Structures are given as structure tokens and as C-alpha cells.
Amino acid sequence: MKRRQLLSDWLVPLAVFAVLAIVPELHFSIPKLFDQPISSPGTLQLLAACVLFGGLALTYDIQFGYTGLLSFGHALYIAVGVYLSNIAITDWHWNFWVAILFTMGVAFVLANVLGFVSLRVGGIAFAMVTLAFAQAGAVLALKDPHHWTHGEEGLGADYTRLPHVFVGIFNTKNLYWLALGFLVVVFFTVRWAVESSPGRVWQAIRENELRVEVLGMRPHLYKLQAFVLSSTLAAGGGIVYMLLYNGSTLAVTAPNFTLALLLMVVIGGAGSRWGAVLGGILYTYLNDRLVSVGSSSAVEGLPHALRIPLSQPLFLLGVIFILIVFFLPGGLAGIVGRGRPSGLRRLQEAIRPEPSLTAPQEDA
């Protein structure tokens, strides 16, 4: 038993990450899957995005899959990472490392404040409130009152102030390793967190919040903990995103950005580490590659009514998502762990309409 534990806890994840780590050194090409050889910057950029979104989806899963909080505003914290680090470096000419520490600090404080307010309501109302806060952030980035974000133009990073290993097309493999490093940190942090005693309380809240309260614990504080951990890690992912895409654009502030994370987690399997990671990787890959499928000659020959849906990756991903919700509530991870209730089934109690209508927990 003990040996099996060691295997699944350390050896399997380390083996997977080791395989992922040698990817930039693979110099051959896989014809159908990628246009260019694997070690080429174009393919590596896509793979780095896949790995990064694997990590970001996992940060979202801390709230959604493990604690049962349906947030529509996770993009806000990613956007804080993407924008604030860039603003500090490019607009304020700060030192790179100071800017990163500052960004993480701000994200931590912001998550505490906004989390405290939004967690006063539960269930669906929480989803709407987080959506509204994220929208406020999106408006702020768009209107750009202090001329920091450059609104719709976006803010390109001042590459002279970034560490040289992350600049330039020849260093794409370093960016890939950075994204992979982010995924590894998130993966082991999440495992440590959900198996710690507060982490067990999060899962208990997901199953039955009232019971946790009856046991004399304060669900509000534990939910805030999960929210802050998830949001702060997301801001870290935002910084990686900024480095990977060489700047900040409004895409990360859009409500659809959070919805994409939700799709990734559900497709992969909510409340499952490998599921969320796999969902993030697959979604990002498909979203990118389906565009080229849509413009390929095989699809061009199809009649109009078939060609249009096939040329829209988000249409296909949305349909896949709906099918998964209907027929595979455990997501892709649920295929492996058959028999046990998994994924969305375990979230039944957490996101019912009633909790939003019951009196809020008083922590004062």
C-alpha cells in the first residue's frame, strides 16, 4: 500500500513532468498534430500556452472542483498578473523582480478584500458578484484613466527590462520551461493544499456546507482561504502569460476568459488534478489547431452548412462541453475513475439555488 502511494504521489507526476520537460529537445515533427517540428519556436509557443493553461485551469479548480465555488471572475486575478507586472516594468520602469513581488502582493490583498465581500453570498449569487468585479477590472483596463494599460491597443512589454533568457524567439524553449515550472508549482501546491486539513474542510464544504457549520467551523473563512490561494496562484500564471505573449491585451479581462477556464475544468474533470490539467492542455490545443482544420482543404469542400460550424473552434468546443455535461459529468478524468461519483456530480450540493437565499454567515 505504502509503495503504491509513493508511486502515485511522486513517481507518476515526476515522470510526466520529466517527459514534458524534454519536449523542447525533440527535433522531429509530428505531421498531423503540428505544422512545424516540435522544437521550432511556433510549436513551442503553442505547447507553452497549453501547459500554462493547464496550470491556470488547475488554479480555477481549487475553487470550483474542490471547494464548490462557482466563480465567473477568475480572469480578474490572471489579468492583475498580466497587466500589473507589465505596468510596473514598462510604465513605471521598476526592476523586474520587484515588479513581480509587488504584483503578487497586490493580487493577494485584492483576493482577500474582494473574496471577503463576494463570499457573503453563496451559490449563483457568488457567481454573479465575481463576474461583476471582473467586469469592473475589464472596464478599468479598457478606459485606462492613468494611461497605463493603453486600452484596446494593449501594452507591449519593454523587453529591455525583462530577463534576457525570456526575450526573443530563440528563447521560446525557456518560456516553455517557465510555463511548465508554473504548472509543476501549481500541481504540487494544490496537492499539498487539498490534502492538508483546511483542504479537507474545503471538500467538506463542497459536499455539505451546513454540516461543516454545525461542526463548529466557519465555512466563510475556509472558503476565503481557497479563494485567496486560487487567485494568488492565478496572478502568478498571469505573469507567465505576460512573458509568453510579450505584453498585455484586453483578451485576458473578458468574461469569456473565465468561462474558458470553466470549460477546461469541466471537460477535463472537476475536482481532479490531472483532469483539470488535461482539460486546460486539450482546450488550448484544440482552440488553436481547429482553426487550421477549419481552413483545410477537406473542410473547404464541404457544403456551406457544415463548413461554417467547423471553422469556429469555440462552437465545436462549446458543443463538446455541452455533451460532456450531459453524458460525462466526471469529465475525461471520470472515464478512469468509473463507479465513484466524480466531477459535477459531487458539486450538486454546493451550487444549489437555496444557499444564496439563506442568511449569510456572520463572521463579525
Residues near another protein (CB under 8 A): 70, 117-118, 120-121, 124-125, 127-129, 131-133, 135-136, 139-140, 142-143, 145, 255-256, 259, 262-263, 266, 308-309, 311-315, 317-319, 321-322, 325-326, 329, 344, 347-348, 350-354, 356-360
Contact 36, 214 (CB under 8 A): no
The kind and range of the H/E element at 289 are helix 273-294
Shortest CB 220 distance to another protein, Å? 12
Shortest CB 176 distance to another protein, Å? 28
Shortest CB 115 distance to another protein, Å? 12
Residue in the structure block whose three cell numbers are 513581480? 100
Shortest CB 120 distance to another protein, Å? 5
Smallest CA-to-CA distance from 156 within 63, 242, 46, 53 is with 242
Nearer to another protein, 150 or 180 (CB): 150
Nearer to another protein, 79 or 127 (CB): 127
CA 155 to CA 253: how far, in whole Å?
13
The kind and range of the H/E element at 155 are strand 155-156
Task: Supply the Cα-derived Rg of the chain in whole angstroms.
Answer: 21
Nearer to another protein, 163 or 341 (CB): 341
CA 198 to CA 206: how far, in whole Å?
13
CA distances from 247 to 29, 110, 235, 280 (A): 29, 22, 15, 21
Side-chain-side CA neighbours of 113 within 13 Å: the count stands at 8
Nearer to another protein, 130 or 230 (CB): 130
Nearer to another protein, 130 or 172 (CB): 130
Shortest CB 197 distance to another protein, Å? 26
Nearer to another protein, 236 or 313 (CB): 313
Shortest CB 277 distance to another protein, Å? 20
CA 335 to CA 347: how far, in whole Å?
18
Shortest CB 54 distance to another protein, Å? 20
Contact 157, 90 (CB under 8 A): yes
Nearer to another protein, 233 or 270 (CB): 270
